[in-house]
Amino acid sequence: MAFNIDRFTRDSVRVNWEDLDLDVFREDPLPAESLRTLRYMCDVEYHTVCYLRDMLVTPSRGEGEVNAFMTMWNREEFWHGEALAHVLDLHGITVSYDELKAKRVKLGWRDRIAPVKQAMLSNIIGKDFVAVHMIWGAVNEWSASAAYKRLAALEGHPALAVLLKRIAAQEARHVAFYATQARQRLEGNRKAQKLARLALSTAWRPVGSGIASDEEVTHVMGQLFGGADGRKEIRAIDAHIAKLPGMEGLTIVSDSLDARGISA
């Protein structure tokens, strides 16, 4: 899978929803469980800038293509947050900048110290940390893309489905970047492979685990990926991961659902 960074930066746009008839939600609102999931997704998207921060203190910053990607990626993810915030707003749920700030402040020292931990770890590991960053990003983007597609299918709402599929399509381009970079950096590099495998198998958690309560994570994962169809998507993500150099046999996403008691 090749990735053309020039084409990606050239074509990067904010996700659009103005042409969609989302006002129908005023009379025909989404169920509470889906709004809860959308709120979680919205928070995660807005929090991207903090994930970006944690990466900017590592050797990943300074890599030309990575810098260009991160600039566009951060903006696209921000707009995913704006789009979902619009849907929530139509349901009377306001996501303001003040509220986002309050949430970030509430995360406390765990959040503030995150870049310190990341910087120290990456200083010890050196350049191979970039490979870990890339495979980590790939897993998260595969998960995000699958999550949007699942919610679109589960809700079956025509306008919402189009919006979620547009977001998923952008996430898929992010996958292409991360997976291409991960493959290039892991290929033939046993040390990077071992590090990536160790990091994923011991530290990876579903996207949003760092900012949401366990209860919320379990709700979202259960709604989107519980049951046979959901688990099929999860297995597909694990299969993608396992195809990357040195990752054979890893089933971290399935394992994380099992650990939360989410049935297949």
Partner 1 sequence: MSASSPAFDVRAYVREPVDLRPDQLDLEAMANLPAPVVGAVGHLWSVERTILDLMRDLLVTPTHAEARVTAFLGTWAYEQFWITESLAAVLRPGGEPTDPPDSGVGALRRMWDERVRPTVDAVRTNLLGSDVVAAHMVTGWLNTAVVALAYERLGAIDPRLRPLTAAVAPIKSRHLAFYEDEAHARLSGSAGAIRLARRTVTRWQWPGVRYCGHDAASGPVRTLLADPAARPGVRAVDAGVAALTGQADAAPLRVALGGFVQHSPVGGTVRASTRVQ
Q: Does position 105 bind partner 1 by CB under 8 A?
A: yes
Amino acid letter, 19 = D
Compute the distance between CA of residue 249 and CA of residue 247 in angstroms, rounded to an integer. 6
Distances (CA, A) of 104 to 115, 117, 143, 202: 14, 18, 23, 25
Q: Does position 162 bind partner 1 by CB under 8 A?
A: no
| Tokens (6 digits) for 121 | 């770890």
CB of 78 to partner 1, least distance (A): 5
> 73 with 48: CB under 8 angstroms?
yes
Q: Does position 7 bind partner 1 by CB under 8 A?
A: no
Q: Does position 210 bind partner 1 by CB under 8 A?
A: no
Residues that contact partner 1, how many (by CB under 8 A): 34
- Residue number, 117 or 191, with CB nearest to partner 1: 117
Residue indicated by tokens 């709402």: 157
Residue indicated by tokens 């991960």: 182
**Of 94-102, 151-159, 215-223, 224-232: span binding partner 1 (CB under 8 A):** 94-102
> 246 with 135: CB under 8 angstroms?
no
> Contacts with partner 1 in 115-144 (CB under 8 A)?
115-116, 119-120, 123
**Of 48-56, 136-144, 160-168, 178-186: span binding partner 1 (CB under 8 A):** 48-56
**Pure H helices in 47-113:** 48-56, 64-89, 97-106, 108-112
Burial class (CB in 10 A: 0-12, 13-18, 19+), 241: buried
Compute the distance between CA of residue 85 and CA of residue 82 in angstroms, rounded to an integer. 5
Q: Which of 38, 42, 44, 70 binds partner 1 (CB under 8 A)?
A: 70
CB of 59 to partner 1, least distance (A): 8
**Of 32-40, 102-110, 140-148, 242-250: span binding partner 1 (CB under 8 A):** 102-110
Q: Does position 9 bind partner 1 by CB under 8 A?
A: yes
Q: Does position 97 bind partner 1 by CB under 8 A?
A: yes
**Of 60-68, 127-135, 173-181, 238-246: span binding partner 1 (CB under 8 A):** 60-68
- State how far Cα 192 lies from the chain centre: 22
> 135 with 186: CB under 8 angstroms?
yes
For the chain, the first-to-last Cα distance in angstroms comes to 30
**Of 25-33, 43-51, 168-176, 253-261: span binding partner 1 (CB under 8 A):** 43-51
Q: Does position 78 bind partner 1 by CB under 8 A?
A: yes
Contacting positions for partner 1 (CB under 8 A) = 9-10, 46, 49-50, 52-53, 56-57, 61-62, 67-68, 70-72, 74-75, 78, 82, 97-98, 100-101, 104-105, 109, 112-113, 115-116, 119-120, 123
